[in-house]
Amino acid sequence: MSGTVFGAPTGLLQRLRRTEVGVTDLREAVAGLQDAAAGSGLRLGIVDGAGRGPLLDLQEAGRRTRVNLAELAVEMTRAAVPATPEGVTAALGAWLAHRPVPDSVAASVGFAVLDWTDPRACVLGWRVVVAREGLLAPWRPSREATLPAVHRTRSSALGRSAVLESAVRLVGPVALWTVPGVQGGDTALLVEPERMLAEMAAQGLRLREAHLVVTPGRPVACAETGVARRLVAEATEACATVPWRELPDLGWA
């Protein structure tokens, strides 16, 4: 990942010539984004509480998030966001794309992809995500979500992943799988591995002891043991090699 929660990283010159983002800049940016956000069902507001600093209030489909505006300004300054109206608006827009996903949105449009379950990127697990402005926003159940509701959301997310259109490209002994319709959602096709095996066999690639090389957000590579080992040797990015038979054992992130 090269970007941050505030969008693409700034250039070296901007990082050297640091400017301070103030609460006033943020207020203006919030006012400018209110209409566009309302179009996607997100209500933006600023709450001036007594005794506390002003809070940025996000409301979307029953989920409410409040963030201290002064703290957000400090974080933007640290991330070297240029303190111009355009710079702060762009950074706020990128930050809003990372807002929590409401339960009802996850239940109606969420689909399942594989993601890391731990910060050290060792263990893979399924995660319900929602496509939002070119990125996949992860769903974490709110405190109000009941266990049956969580199960229902997860199960319908698996169902949506199963019907996504996938594409395979054979590079010698390696099959590269993608989901062309969803950027970064390539691992969604692993909910139906039988379909993959059948498609590869139809294209003439019959694998003994197939292994999957899974990198969350990137195409999925499928190959035999030795080839898969060769593929991940010296890999610098976090990836996992999953034997085919262990695929059904993956849990939820």
Partner 1 sequence: MSIPPVEEAAPAVLVPHWLSAADRTEVERAVRTALAGAPVHPVAAIHLGEVLTELHVAAAREAVWPAPVARVRRATGWGEDVLPVRLSAVELASVLSLPGLAPVARDALTGGRSR
Give the separation between CA 114 and CA 124, rounded to whole angstroms: 6
Name 219's Cβ contacts closer than 8 Å, sequence gap at least 6. 176, 177, 178, 186
Q: What angle do CA 133, 84, 11 make, to 5 degrees?
A: 70
Task: Indicate whether 235 belongs to the interface with partner 1 (CB under 8 A).
Answer: yes
Question: Residue 140 or 230: which CB sits closer to partner 1?
Answer: 230
Question: Residue 2 or 119: which CB sits closer to partner 1?
Answer: 2
Give the separation between CA 205 and CA 201, rounded to whole angstroms: 5
Name 144's Cβ contacts closer than 8 Å, sequence gap at least 6. 103
Q: At what angle do helices 69-78 and 23-39 cross, to 10 degrees?
A: 100
Question: Residue 42 or 214: which CB sits closer to partner 1?
Answer: 214
Using CB under 8 A, which of the segments 21-29, 58-66, 155-163, 230-238 binds partner 1? 230-238
Exactly one of 157, 219, 242, 253 binds partner 1 (CB under 8 A); that residue is 219
The number of angstroms, rounded, from the C-alpha of 197 to the middle of its chain's C-alpha atoms is 27
Contact pattern from residue 130 through residue 169 relative to partner 1, giving x for each residue in contact according to CB under 8 A and a dash for the rest: ---------------------------------------x
Task: Indicate whether 189 belongs to the interface with partner 1 (CB under 8 A).
Answer: no
Using CB under 8 A, which of the segments 8-16, 51-59, 103-111, 213-221 binds partner 1? 213-221
Strand 111-116, strand 124-132: pairing: antiparallel
Task: Indicate whether 227 belongs to the interface with partner 1 (CB under 8 A).
Answer: yes
Nearest 5°: phi and psi at 178?
Answer: -135, 160
Task: Indicate whether 171 belongs to the interface with partner 1 (CB under 8 A).
Answer: yes
Question: What does DSSP assign to residue 175?
Answer: E
Contact pattern from residue 43 through residue 82 relative to partner 1, giving x for each residue in contact according to CB under 8 A and a dash for the rest: ----------------------------------------
- Residues engaged in binding partner 1 (CB under 8 A): 2, 169, 171-174, 176, 213, 215, 218-219, 221, 223, 225-227, 229-231, 233-237, 239
